[in-house]
Amino acid sequence: MENKIVNTGSAKLTIGEDSYDLPIYSGSMGAPAVDVRALHKLSGHFTFDPGYTSTCSTESQITFIDGGKGQLLHRGYSIEDLAENCDFMEVAYLMMNGELPNKEQFAEFDEKITSHTMLHEQVERFFHGFRRDAHPMAMICGTTGALSAFYHDETDIAENEARDLAMMRLIAKMPTICARAYKYSIGQPHVYPDNSLNYAENFLKMCFGVPAETYEVNPVIAKTMNKIFILHADHEQNASTSTVRLAGSSGANPYACIAAGIACLWGPSHGGANEACLNMLQEIGSVDRIPEFIARAKDKQDPFRLMGFGHRVYKNFDPRSRVMQKASHELLDELGISNPILDVAKELERIALEDEYFIAKKLYPNVDFYSGIVLSALGFPTSMFTVLFALARTVGWISQWNEMLEDPSQRIGRPRQLYTGAPARSLVPMDKR
């Protein structure tokens, strides 16, 4: 990656009697940033920003978010445009290469991906090591990490070709791993990939097909699956992406780095929210119980939060939630499914958007608010929701990982701390304590 930040001024920081000039950098869009890298050397001070609310951890050219406007762009293209018009593999190509592919480039890329869809047959043994009731996120985290044992020696991440191969393999094998985890959890045999299908269709077949029968892909379901993958493909420096970058900054194996991202994504404040959201909608159950849950969400003594509401960056609508809302209506209409949970969701959204508490705190529905409804209509159990998120996000994670390694200014990530523990003291031997 060619560094493109431009020095556009300087900021003066005064600490006691001393002042320091710190450079200000601008990118192509978004807020400028004060470069504090020299601060400790110059002044002996660190900056304190737990949760990174004001800290840019990197320069990046992949994804741009304007939370105030509710805007999400990948390589300059809006998420609405990409979700409406593209195949997920076009978006993967875009993320990795910076431009959308033409027909020839797409065919070549697609062929490369499909040539890596199978797992080494020994990976099958990893699945058999899991308890049958293991959460599929635990299985995909463990198995993706285990791929590092299969492709370690040939993965010299300093080499462009080796990095490309690792990226292709990860994107290609992720649906196979995720579908295998699902099949294992329901006791059905593994369905091998079918390279005559596109990415979304192949994944659906591996999840819902059985070796004894012919599986016909429903085009409505495949179209929605493709859209869901695109919506989850990347989201700049969120917790799991930052985890992948931090793990990768030490030069670690890419399969192990993606496993670290999967672990981070699993939490209910991040990718686990869609599962938590559907559970919450089911717990609410009917429209008349909504006020009780709204009251609980506002009660400071109650740890309950309205799942699927709020976002660290979007302080306006999450643009992905609009696409997902439309997709959920289209899907349920086309499949003729009437879902009482959708009524609860619609009413909850309406009430929360009119409520002073949610307005004042700028809490809008996020992508997870509708994705759980869509995924359950597609036939996935709640335990698979975060798995699907991880599958799609692998494209973003691996593109960000590659960008980091190509960045000439890249160093190992090493945050500092403000220590408030015990001061230095002498040890008293146990018999004298």
Question: Rule CB under 6 A: which residues touch ligand ACO?
Answer: 269-271, 273, 297, 305-312, 361, 363, 366-368
Please report, for residues 138, 232, 296, 367, 390, the alpha-carbon distance to residue 319 in angstroms, rounded to integers and kept in the order given. 30, 12, 27, 8, 19
What Å distances lie between residue 180 and 143, 187, 225, 421, CA to CA?
A: 10, 10, 17, 46
The answer to whether the beta carbons of residues 321 and 366 sit under 8 Å apart is yes
CB closer to ligand ACO out of 267 and 413: 267
Q: CA 257 to CA 246: how far, in whole Å?
A: 8
Residue closer to ligand ACO by CB (options 64, 130) is 64
Rounded to 5 degrees, φ, ψ at 19 are -120, 145
What is the phi/psi pair of residue 96, to 5°? Answer: -75, -35
**Of the listed 135, 232, 270, 311, which one is catalytic?**
311
Locus of tokens 């978004």: 30
Q: Smaller CB distance to ligand ACO: residue 39 or 351?
A: 351
In the chain, the amino acid numbered 189 is P
53-59: long-range contacts, CB 8 A cutoff, minimum separation 24 = 53/312, 56/237, 57/237, 57/242, 57/245, 57/413, 58/237, 58/245, 58/404, 58/407, 59/1, 59/3, 59/4, 59/5, 59/27, 59/407, 59/409
Q: Is 311 a catalytic residue?
A: yes
Residue 11, beta-bridge partner list: 22
Q: Is 120 a catalytic residue?
A: no
CB nearer to ligand ACO: pick between 83 and 405: 83
Nearest-CA neighbor of 266 among 177, 129, 135? Answer: 135
CB 399 within 8 A of CB 234: yes
d(CA 388, CA 182): 11
β-bridge partners, 13? 20
| Residue 349 Cβ vs ligand ACO, minimum distance, rounded to whole Å | 13
Shortest CB 89 distance to ligand ACO, Å: 22
Kindly list the catalytic residues.
311, 368
